[in-house]
Amino acid sequence: METTLSIGAVERDTGLSKDTLRVWERRYGFPKPMRDALGERVYPLSQVERLRVIKRLLDQGHRPGRVMACSEEELAALAAGGTRRAGPDREAAPAEGERADLLQFISLCKECRFEELRRQLSQELLRIGMYRFVVDVIAPLNSMVGLRWANGSFAVFEEHLYTESVQIVMRNAIAALPQHQFDPAVRPRLLLTTFPNEQHGLGLLMAEAIFALEGARCISLGVQTPILEIVRAAEAQDIDVVALSFSAALNPNSVLESLRDLREKLPAHREIWVGGEAAVLRRRPPRDVKVLGLGNIRDAIIDWKLRRAVPASA
């Protein structure tokens, strides 16, 4: 018999609530759960995979009624931006605009050669330096991996192992950055984290690497930190800037409401810097919150130092 998952397991796996799954079952006729010996809903893995793709499309702004009516091929085309679905055991053809020199890393993931992946990533970092590694290698590589996850050519475990490999390489590189050349009197203290509904941490780590490269003292709480705990940590660590990362999957209104809540709870002298793929940050940037891309982190650090410089006559 085909392997099945309980409704609770599907909720954890896909991020779709149990209520949503039941509503879709009645309204759209999908998913089509079976019943176990106790009469409880169980879902075949083939349906769970389709639900993952649908969730990704909903996060990108598609409507449930539209994607539910799509065939497998149409779903794959939407998820991949028009590229052909490759299947979990075959490599997708390079999408338009992808860099051929990064495909070697994709191949290592597909071949499950993750030790070799970490070795080659480390060599590339040493060759081109931290800044270019983050901006010119990891940022586009993340997009390539995300595209393949969406169109089905990357399994969930492959995406997770890719993420773990990048984190290992970058954590080691950040720890090895020399800090003695920076004046401790003009080094901002940054607290890096995400809000509770944001579990993606690579963007945060990429920002941390560049912040550290520019001399900031970085304290990372990892992902999914409650707002009150962020406030408490900022106070305990005497933080100058709270830096937050947001992926495109987050609800825009939730992003703005959470930022307003955090801004109200932090004292005015503690700044909030945000970045990531959430488009609402650039369309409607919250008041007293600085929106940054990886490319202007250095300017933000320089500006912070200039604003806090003590006049010579003081």
Give yes or no for a contact between 291 and 275, defined as CB atoms under 8 angstroms apart: yes
* Domain match, 106 and 157 both: yes
Which uninterrupted H or E stretch holds 167? Answer: helix 156-175
Residues 210, 286, single domain; the answer is yes
Mean pLDDT, residues 177-203: 84
Specify the pLDDT at position 97. 65
Neighbours of 202 (CB within 10 A): 20
243-256 pLDDT, tens digit each? 999 987 777 888 99
Number of domains in the chain: 3
Specify whether 205 is located in the same domain as 169: no
* 290 — pLDDT class (breaks 50, 70, 90): very high
Residue where a domain terminates, one of 146, 175, 204: 175
Q: Are residues 138 and 200 in the same domain?
A: no
Task: Report the distance separating Cα 193 and Cα 274, nearest Å.
Answer: 10
Domain boundary among 44, 79, 114: 79
pLDDT of residue 243: 97
Mean pLDDT over the full length of the chain: 86
Q: State whether 152 and 70 are in the same domain.
A: no
Provide the CATH number for the domain around residue 167: 1.10.1240
Residues 200 and 277 in one domain: yes
Task: Assess contact for 188 and 304: CB atoms under 8 A.
Answer: yes
**Looking at residue 246, which CATH number applies to its domain?**
3.40.50.280
Burial of 197 (0-12, 13-18, 19+ CB in 10 A): middle
User: pLDDT tier at 313 (50, 70, 90 boundaries)?
Assistant: very low
Same-domain check for residues 190 and 167: no
| Residue 208 or 154, more confident | 208
pLDDT value at 15 more than 90: no
Query: Dihedral of the CA atoms 78, 46, 141, 73 (nearest 10)?
Result: -30
Kindly state whether residues 114 and 158 are assigned to the same domain.
yes
Q: C-alpha distances in angstroms, 70 versus 53, 76, 152, 168? A: 11, 9, 15, 39
Residues 60 and 136 reside in one and the same domain: no
Mean pLDDT calculated for residue range 254-278: 93
Compute the distance between CA of residue 141 and CA of residue 102 in angstroms, rounded to an integer: 7
235: in domain = yes
**pLDDT digits over 75-129, tens only?**
877 776 644 334 444 444 555 567 888 999 999 999 999 999 999 999 999 999 9
CATH number at residue 58: 1.10.1660.10
Domain containing residue 254: 184-307
Give the distance from CA 145 to its chain's centroid: 12
Residue 181: per-residue pLDDT: 66
Query: Is there a domain that residue 229 lies in?
Result: yes
Strand intervals (E) in 138-286:
189-193, 217-220, 241-246, 271-276
Cα–Cα distance between 157 and 163 in angstroms, integer?
10
Do both 114 and 222 map to the same domain?
A: no
**Which residue among 120, 144, 175 closes a domain?**
175
The burial of 83, by beta-carbon neighbours within 10 Å (0-12 exposed, 13-18 middle, 19 or more buried), is given as buried
Q: Tokens 């800044």 correspond to what residue?
A: 131
